[in-house]
Amino acid sequence: MKRSNSWSLHEVSGGYGDFAARVVSTLRERGHEAVHLQEQGLGKMPDGEILAKARAEGSVLLTHDLDFGELLAASGGSLPSVIIFRLKDMRAENVNFHLFSILEKQSAALEKGVVCSVSERKVRIRSLPL
């Protein structure tokens, strides 16, 4: 069982500079287990394999790639939880602001399995399986 204050998060990035490394660094500074797939040499891992890895490790997947929600729906799986950032401002400070709000308010839901879609205006949470 996952400790409620310790999350292992996978972050998938593309085209947003070093924000991903800064998000992971902030997670670690605040006591969370966090890994960027690039750190493990897995930056080109296919999406389905990323989902399988996160599921096997009990991780929460952070991404801006909408394909992960569709893959989870097609799989019928109840894990891993996925947080999809659909922010216009993808700077690390803004992503962290939204991320830590979700972690604070939705930790129980993330343990059970959800897809969170995050925009500036709202957070939409759908329980898994979809």
pLDDT in tens, 43-101: 788 889 988 988 888 889 998 888 888 899 898 999 999 999 999 998 889 999 999 99
**How far is the C-alpha of 123 from the C-alpha of 130, rounded, in Å?**
17
Structural domain that includes position 52: 8-127
Task: Assign 11 a pLDDT band (cuts: 50, 70, 90).
Answer: low
**Per-residue pLDDT averaged across 16-28, rounded?**
80
Residue 60 within a domain: yes
**Residue-level pLDDT at 17:** 55
Closest CA to 12 of 71, 76, 74: 71
Closest CA to 114 of 79, 86, 87: 79
Count of structural domains, the chain: 1
Calculate the CA 46 to chain-centre distance. Answer: 16
Q: Is the model's pTM score more than 0.75?
A: yes
Calculate the CA 72 to chain-centre distance. Answer: 13
| CATH number of the structural domain spanning residue 107 | 3.40.50
